[in-house]
Amino acid sequence: MVARYVMSVDQGTTSTRCILFDQGGRLVSVTQREHRQRYPKPGWVEHDATEIWRNLEHMAPEALARAGVDASQVAALGIANQRETTVLWDRHTGVPVGRAVVWQDTRTDELVEQYASRPGAELVLERSGLPLATYFSAPRLRWLLDHTPGLYERAERGDVLFGTMESWLVWNFTGGVDGGVHVTDVTNASRTLLMNIETLQWDKDLLDFFGIPAAMLPEIRSNAELYGTATRAVPGVRISAALGDQQAALFGQTCFAQGEAKCTYGTGSFLLLNTGTVPVRSSHGLLTTVGYRIGDEPAVYALEGSIAVTGSLVQWFRDSLGLIQTAPEIETLARTVEDNGGCYIVPAFSGLFAPHWRADARGIIVGLTSYITKGHLARAVLEATGWQTREVVDAMNADSGLELRSLKVDGGMTADNLLMQFIADVLPAPVVRPMVAETVSLGAAYAAGLAVGYWPDLEGLRRNWHRAAQWLPTMDATRRESEYANWKRAVERTFGWVRPNTNTAG
Amino acid sequence: MPGSVQSIERAAAILRLLARGSGRLGVGEISTSLGLAKGTTHGILKTLQDVGFVEQDKASGKYQLGATLLHLGTSYLDVNELRSRAINWADALASRSGEAVRIGTPLDGKVLVVHHVFRPDDSLQTLDTGTLLPVHATALGKILLAYDSGVAAEVAGATPEQYTRRTLVTPAALRKAVTEVREQGWAGEAEEYAAGQASIAAPIRGYGGYVVGAISIAGSVDRLFPASGRVDQSLVTFVQNAARAISRDLGAGRW
């Protein structure tokens, strides 16, 4: 049978999705399954890696069945995954060592503080391009080594393997204990604090700094090359791509040229700017990261503005306040009023990410008067995402010396017209949504298809990109500036709320 | 007026009984209270259970009102929710058909455009989400006329506006068009709203099969109705498949 489709797996924070794409980059079938979020202690977030693999083992064949396709018609499979989530497992049994520690988990905050004051800490930013923070994988791995008796010795012997989600899935697809391939890709590896951003290899000094045995680490590969052939879930299908989800979205948006940027609106939001083949160091709170690397070609780098809380603020509004039934209803509620009524919400739920990086910040609602209704609050929720985007774009412009001329957007929140219009208004710049909002999945599919020759080249992929919607700025400049000034004042009021070593629960 | 249907009367009595008091009753208690044979009661309960109006407690075997019944009065679908659930399939439809896609829901006897996907040729186009379209002159509107009795009632007294010489304005012509839509399961419109333009639409069904809106493609009449005014059947199939995929996601089941 002629291979007519590419399968992509998006292993996300709350669910895993399996999507089949055709040669035009169009969606053919979708299956999705949520996995359990485990919060054993305040600040801890865990996933069961076995549950995630079992879900996928079930969903991948189901996606084929829904399209009436068999595995021989699938040219390749690509994986996009939640980044920085840390999985350890036993090479001989295939059983994870404890639960996966998720990127939102902040159990390592004290450990990070300790390591930051050690000699050699300046190496982390210099070599990895990232600040030493709880957000990344190495502190989690160190924490697990510290808190699991006997683990360090097992890791040194190579009996226990480390990986982010894509490593775990590739290892399982390609046979697990029966010859599973232990690899990671440059984008995921670039989020560990252990990879040298220039050489794209594990950095011996960083491994020494964190005390990580090299024997447990996967081999770092490019984003688009043949890793192996599946023997489980979809036997016979070639596994030929893996990217961190945000880098996958950059690729799916076909931001292949220097200066092209996209923002993905999900639980959090992530703006990535392609900076070409040289890593650019930020002086405005952005991260230097690998964008993608195709086979032996030079790696393409990106500057990243990470916003921790956007879609999750809407979820909080729905689940914790109960003011709406479903997330999209936020737009309906927000449209019951003309403006925010003077109310601002800064969702610094676990501190603020880019461009502030303030761990001591906590969320606030300011400007409350008896005039404020739930409609105004709904506006303030959506506007928070708009202003946080503006802050990150300002930082991007300052670092790159260029002015962003239009913003390509994707992700679930792009279905919210009011929000998209607001973002265009506050940037101010046109906001463009592509024909496939599922750019994370599409990016993984593109990289996988490219590796096996299903798509010939980047230009061919570019031709698949089409504008599905565009929002143009309409807000009056005076109003924009005064609103932005208000937002900035609100942000300042979140700083320093958490004091070091105080126990508020006492 | 025809006589009342006995089994519906009995079903209503059972529901009233379950809505009273503690709410959980066994078959025996229900039969005794209503003076019905146990077999009859059981049969009615089984049907009510199938449609979700009652639920049986697994442990005790007793019956109570079902969640579906409780949501019956509040089961409206938020238009922003509809857009959010439909966005992937609307994109795929635009991409496959090469035409602009719209999703419409009824509002005060008009079609409210709740979602709009540009024609995938990267030409300059403007989002028209939030605008209102006439029901009698668009494919989206004809779907709503055919499947939503509320819409049909709202426009009953109004005089339809003549947009082009092809616009259907007489009650007879509209009745015929609506019958056709119901028979074929999709609606078409060629130069009835604007010269040179055409559209094709299919119904989007929500939970239980109830029509909540319509999805359409719109573009040049030469592309949608190419062969001497006859519709391009492959485009109709694309629209119907997209409508079915969205309906399935909304829980329409066998539709």
Helices A49-67/A165-173 angle, 10° precision = 60
Nearest to B78 among A24, A326, A414 (CB): A326
Q: Give the pLDDT band (50/70/90) at residue A505.
A: very low
Is the pLDDT at B135 greater than 80? The verdict is: yes
A417–chain B Cβ distance below 8 A for any pair: yes
Q: Quick one: tokens of A467?
A: 């504008």
| The pLDDT value given to residue A421 | 97
| pLDDT tens column, A338-378 | 999 999 999 998 888 889 988 888 999 999 999 999 999 99
| pLDDT tens column, B60-87 | 889 988 766 765 654 567 889 899 999 9
Q: Which residues share a beta bridge with B113?
A: B104
| pLDDT tens column, A70-80 | 999 999 999 99
Name which of A326, A467, A474 to mutate to probe chain B: the one with the most chain B Cβ atoms within 10 A of its Cβ.
A467
The string of DSSP letters for A310-359 reads: SHHHHHHHHHTS---SSTTHHHHHHTTSSS-TT-EEE--BTBB-TTT-BT
Is the pLDDT at A504 greater than 60? The verdict is: no
Nearest to B127 among A26, A466, A471 (CB): A471
Strands A300-307 and A5-11: unpaired
Please answer yes or no on whether A26 and B96 come within 8 Å at the CB atom. Answer: yes
Chain A environment of B96 (Cβ under 8 Å): 24, 26
User: What percentage of chain B exceeds 70 in pLDDT?
Assistant: 93
Please answer yes or no on whether B87 and A415 come within 8 Å at the CB atom. Answer: yes
Q: Give the pLDDT band (50/70/90) at residue A235.
A: very high
- How large is the average pLDDT for residues B188-202? 96
Is the pLDDT at A241 greater than 60? The verdict is: yes
> For chain B, which residues lie within 8 Å of any Cβ of chain A, measuring from their own Cβ?
78-81, 83-84, 87-89, 91-92, 94-96, 116-118, 120-122, 125, 127, 129-130
Q: Give the pLDDT band (50/70/90) at residue B148.
A: confident
Give A442 to chain B, closest Cα distance, Å.
12
**Of A66 and A237, more confident:** A237
| The pLDDT value given to residue B23 | 67
Q: Which residues share a beta bridge with B134?
A: B110
How big is the CA angle at A34 (ends A80 and B214), to the nearest 5 degrees?
A: 90
Is the pLDDT at B255 greater than 60? The verdict is: no
Shortest CA distance from B74: residue in chain A: A325
The string of DSSP letters for B79-116 reads: HHHHHHHHHHHHHHHHHHH-SEEEEEEEETTEEEEEEE
Give B83 to chain A, closest Cα distance, Å.
7
Range A144-150, long-range pairs (CB < 8 A, 24+ positions): A144/A86, A144/A88, A144/A97, A144/A98, A144/A101, A145/A211, A145/A212, A146/A111, A148/A97, A148/A98
Give the phi and the psi of residue A10 in degrees, each rounded to 5: -110, 100
Is the pLDDT at A502 greater than 50? The verdict is: no
Please answer yes or no on whether B127 and A412 come within 8 Å at the CB atom. Answer: no
| The pLDDT value given to residue A207 | 95
Across the A:B interface, residue pairs with CB atoms under 8 Å apart total 75
| pLDDT tens column, A447-501 | 999 999 999 999 889 888 889 999 999 999 999 999 999 999 999 999 999 876 5
- Reduced 3-state DSSP string for A257-297: CCCCEEEEECCCEEEEEEEECCCCCCCCCCEEEEEECECCC
Tell me if the pTM is above 0.90.
no
**Interatomic CA distance for residues A480 and A483, integer angstroms:** 5
Q: Where are the beta strands (DSSP E) in chain B?
A: 54-56, 63-65, 100-107, 110-117, 132-134, 187-190, 197-205, 211-220
Q: Give the pLDDT band (50/70/90) at residue B22.
A: low
| The pLDDT value given to residue B153 | 76
In sequence order, what are the residues at sequence separation of 6 or more whose Cβ sits closer than 8 angstroms to the Cβ of residue B14? Answer: B30, B34, B41, B44, B45, B48, B54
Is the pLDDT at B5 greater than 90? The verdict is: no
| The pLDDT value given to residue A503 | 44
Q: Give the pLDDT band (50/70/90) at residue A329.
A: very high
Chain B environment of A330 (Cβ under 8 Å): 80
Give A329 to chain B, closest Cα distance, Å.
6
| The pLDDT value given to residue A360 | 84
| The pLDDT value given to residue B72 | 62
Give A170 to chain B, closest Cα distance, Å.
27
Please answer yes or no on whether A27 and B88 come within 8 Å at the CB atom. Answer: yes
At A252, the amino acid letter reads G
| The pLDDT value given to residue A270 | 94
Please answer yes or no on whether A466 and B95 come within 8 Å at the CB atom. Answer: yes
Give B81 to chain A, closest Cα distance, Å.
5
Please answer yes or no on whether B83 and A469 come within 8 Å at the CB atom. Answer: no
Q: How many C-beta atoms lie closer than 10 Å to residue A492's C-beta? A: 12
Q: Quick one: tokens of A362?
A: 């906590």
**Interatomic CA distance for residues A104 and A311, integer angstroms:** 14
